Amino acid sequence: MKSNLLKRSPWLFALAVGAVQAAPDMVVVAYGGAGQKAQDAAIFKPFSAQDGSTLIQSEYNGEMARIKVMVDTGNVDWDLVQIEGPDLMRGCDEGMYERLDWTRLGRAEQLIPDAAQECGSAVLVWSVAIAYDRNKLAQAPTSWADFWDVKKIPGKRGLRKRAVYNLEFALMADGVKVEDVYKVLATPEGVDRAFNKLSELKPYIQWWEAGAQPAQWLSAGDVVMTSTYSGRVAVAAQQGSPLALVWPGSLYGMDYWAIIKGSRHVDQAKRLIAFANQPDTQVRYVKEIPYGPTNIQAAAELDPQLASWVPTSRQNLEGALSMNVEFWVDHGDELEERFNAWASR
């Protein structure tokens, strides 16, 4: 899903890898793969044509340390980045991103709650859920308890190599109700409980870091089940793949656009954000990859069949967990540090 190599499209300004800093055009950085291809088709190309400007695309793995170095040194060679909610809030507090004036940017009243932030504008509503291959499992999993049950369903499991998501899933696998997950996780005993549950599964885990890996591993038979960003598997299923999702117990939240402090293309970046928030732009995007729109008008315009793959559809929200961004802002650094130490053992 994510790499650090610059990508070229025929419509993009040609530029040699490694020379981004000298580029006169805005650099937009996202998570690559199917999601960024959808952004290219639904947002970047139409925006470039309408705005009469060019932009360069790049991919990354969400490395906040790299952005911090840019800001601290004043050597800012990226402009607009897609980031997760906790990273946005922490970075905003640390002065890493430009503040947004929503009275000038507009459409805040059309957006779902928490989409319009001081330093960011929500790109999409994502979901992380269990995925499996219907042709390879006689009995489909229905919960994280099934995901952890290696006797009932033998084989490797795929999980993202981060504390975030996995601690929540571990507690649900251990019998914690969805509505109580963050109450439990807010205690030292709850954190220990989550790590102990992860330790039970550790010998069977294959860690993924790129969003494209889960679907690839399922198709290749490398894992029998995996956590995954729902949109990747939804696209594959729409194209005839036997991959399927388990929505109960899924975790959902938002990614955001943020403008790096010191960007030389702030005005162009703000115009792109405003363009991306338009209802027709978001409908176009969801048709490319079924993540949840953040514009309420766009959500109302979705075809029911397409909406069935969207994380924010009523039926998919049943039994789902909303990410507690404030929890991860407050505890993310320490929990990720503990997770990295645990994973390396």
Please state the domain count of the chain: 2
In this structure, are 229 and 293 located in the same domain?
no
Asked whether 211 and 255 are in contact (CB, 8 A), the reply is no
Say if residue 208 is in the same domain as residue 116.
no
State in Å, rounded, how far the first CA of the chain is from the last one: 26
β-pair type (205-208, 157-160): parallel
Q: Are residues 139 and 104 in the same domain?
A: no
Is there a single domain that holds both residue 153 and residue 226? Answer: yes
The pairing of beta strand 225-229 with beta strand 121-133: antiparallel
Same domain, yes or no: 202 and 332: yes
Judge contact between 121 and 43, C-beta under 8 A.
no
Residue 80 near residue 259, CB atoms below 8 Å: yes
Q: Is residue 25 part of a domain?
A: yes
Given a contact cutoff of 8 angstroms between Cβ atoms, the answer to whether 251 and 321 are in contact is yes
Please state the three-class secondary structure of the chain as a single string.
CCCCCEECCCCCCCCCCCCHHHCCCEEEEECCHHHHHHHHHHHHHHHHHHHCCCEEEEECCCCHHHHHHHHHHCCCCCCEEEEEHHHHHHHHHCCCECCCCHHHHCCHHHECCCCECCCCEEEEEEEEEEEEECCCCCCCCCCHHHHHCCCCCCCCEEEECCCCCHHHHHHHHCCCCHHHHHHHHCCHHHHHHHHHHHHHHHHHEEEECCCCHHHHHHHHCCCCEEEEEHHHHHHHHHCCCCEEEEEEEEEEEEEEEEEECCCCCHHHHHHHHHHHCCHHHHHHHHHHCCCECCEHHHHHCCCHHHHCCCCCCHHHHCCCEECCHHHHHHHHHHHHHHHHHHHHC
Instruction: Find the helix packing angle between 64-73 and 85-93, rounded to 10°.
Output: 20
Q: Identify whether residues 218 and 340 lie together within a single domain.
A: yes
Same domain, 79 and 186: no
Query: In this structure, is residue 1 part of a structural domain?
Result: no
Q: What CATH number did the domain enclosing 12 receive?
A: 3.40.190.10
Phi and psi (nearest 5°) for 169? -65, -40
20 and 93 belong to one structural domain:
yes
In a domain, 307, yes or no: yes
Rg (CA), the chain: 20
Identify which of 51, 55, 53, 25 has the alpha carbon closest to the alpha carbon of residue 39. 55
pLDDT in tens, the chain (345 residues): 333 333 334 333 333 333 344 458 999 999 988 899 999 999 999 999 999 999 999 999 888 999 999 999 999 999 999 999 999 999 999 999 999 999 999 889 999 999 999 999 999 999 999 999 999 998 899 999 999 999 999 999 999 999 999 999 999 999 999 999 999 999 999 999 999 999 999 999 999 998 889 999 999 999 999 999 999 899 888 889 999 999 999 999 999 999 999 999 999 999 999 999 999 999 999 999 999 999 999 999 999 989 999 998 888 999 999 999 999 999 999 999 999 999 999
Which residues are CB-contacts of 11 (< 8 A; sequence separation ≥ 6)? 45, 48, 54
State whether 192 and 240 are in the same domain: yes
CB 21 within 8 A of CB 77: yes
What pLDDT, on the 0 to 100 scale, is given for residue 23?
56
Say what the pLDDT of residue 180 is: 98
Spatial CA neighbour of 285 closest among 41, 51, 47: 41
78 and 100 in a single domain? The answer is: yes
In a shared domain, residues 181 and 120: no
Same domain, 287 and 236: no
64 is in which domain, residue-wise?
A: 6-125+254-316
The whole-angstrom separation of Cα 154 and Cα 149 is: 8
According to the model, what pLDDT value does residue 76 have?
96
Residue recorded with tokens 């607009």 = 80
